[in-house]
Copies of this chain bind each other. A is one copy, B any other.
Amino acid sequence: MAHHLTSFLEIDAQSDFTIHNLPYGIFSETAQAEKRVGVAIGEWVLDLAALEQKGLLQLTTANCFNQPTLNKFIETGKQNWHTVRSTLQSLLSAENPTLRDHADLRQQVMFKQEDVVLHLPIHVPGYTDFYSSKEHATNVGTMFRDPKNALLPNWSELPVGYNGRASSVIVSGKDIVRPSGQIKLPNEERPMFSATRKLDFELETAFVVGKATELGEPIAIENAWEHIFGMVLLNDWSARDIQQWEYVPLGPFNAKTFASAISPWVVTMEALEPFKVKGPEQQPKPLGYLQENTANSYDIHLSVEVQTPQSEQANVICQTNFKYMYWSMSQQLTHHTIAGCNVQVGDLMGSGTISGPTEDSYGSLLELTWNTTKPLNLSNGEKRGFLEDGDRVVMKGYCEKNGIRVGFGEVANTILPARHFRFNEQKDERYETV
């Protein structure tokens, strides 16, 4: 994709959704209307189900786009992903009269994004979250373990990951109810029941598996990219006090399973190809099955904004880049399957919190405020340790090179107050009604 493509549509220079991008999502005209596959272009959504119905977009597998998730389309395989992308780039190009010269046809296949409802784009059979930012793992290890040995010995040898909860993967826009559960205060002998006091975001990206494997068939690293369809932004919502109490020895559970939010548009690896860069040097050199000698990272600018109920404008509180990630997506996927675990189309694999080297590039409030010891000063004078009710967190991401921009849009959610709990029967002084 060396040359610039131009669309007949007027697309803002700062739009994430250029003709070079064409990310896939699921939309409907109203919340109850039929869901189908769309592609974001400028401020519009192109309706692929309508294009298919009109014979303007044809795959060997029929009826891929009149679907409530992207899974069926993704399952058609990489060659079809490329065919659809090429067809759409042609249909949208300045030279092609098909849509350009037919306003009536455009009206049938294009909608303003602001007029449609965006849904969870994929059915997620499995959700895995990695922990692949060296800066993030070092920050956490420094805070909670030993600053001199912040990284555990296994961290530099393999992309540490764990199984997340697929059922609570949600799309941008859905509100987050502040979770409740067991927290243990430092001076108390026993835990108490409480709404979390340490609600946090985690800035991540995630990739979507595009090609399944059978149980017992590891993916060799040189084939890993064949299994990846695209990427989204991911906010891996976390309750730090619940996490700290529950996580030994089997890892985070309720601290994470209440919500993991993704951006509605899946950006394809083909669209991201021009932004491929080398990742950090890996020292020690990984074991053979994790060795890859080609560029395997991406130059993706990432940011987090917080808008509080009292503030007129959002505060950018983090700016970082995907390219800092130590372990690559191909290494993550290969490691995930090396013992024989199978993957399925639509599986979501989170990067882990993406923190950069500087204090303003940390991907969580835990790190940005160093566990509340250095509260953030917002532009209107407010301070934040962790998130408060009504706060809205917005994550954005984009690539830009040689005047070509490919962006992710955003993942944004607002915090609602905790539920009121009324337990039946006897009163228990060890929990609070919140």
Contact = CB atoms under 8 A, between A and B. Distances in A.
A63 to B, nearest CB: 21
A interface bracket (residues with beta carbon within 8 Å of B): 35 or more
Interface stretch (A102-110, A185-193, A316-324): A185-193
B250 A419 contact: no
A111 interface: no
Interface in A320-353: 335-336, 338-344, 347
B339 A258 contact: yes
A156 to B, nearest CB: 9
Given A163-B162, A257-B341, A287-B428, A249 B246 contact: no
Interface stretch (A25-33, A76-84, A216-224): A216-224
Nearest to A137: B249
Interface string A105-132: 0000000000000000000011000010
A234 interface: no
B126 A166 contact: yes
Among the interface residues A239, A242, A249, A293, which one has the most CB atoms of the partner chain B within 10 A?
A: A249
A252 interface: yes
B252 A341 contact: no
B250 A162 contact: yes
A430 B166 contact: no
A55 interface: no
- Copies of this protein in the assembly total 2
Contact of A428 (B154, B160, B288, B430): B288
Interface in A393-415: none
B249 A251 contact: yes
B222 A424 contact: yes
Interface in A246-260: 246-255, 257-259
B126 A167 contact: yes
Contacts of A165: 126, 163, 341
A150 to B, nearest CB: 12
A161 B165 CA distance: 12
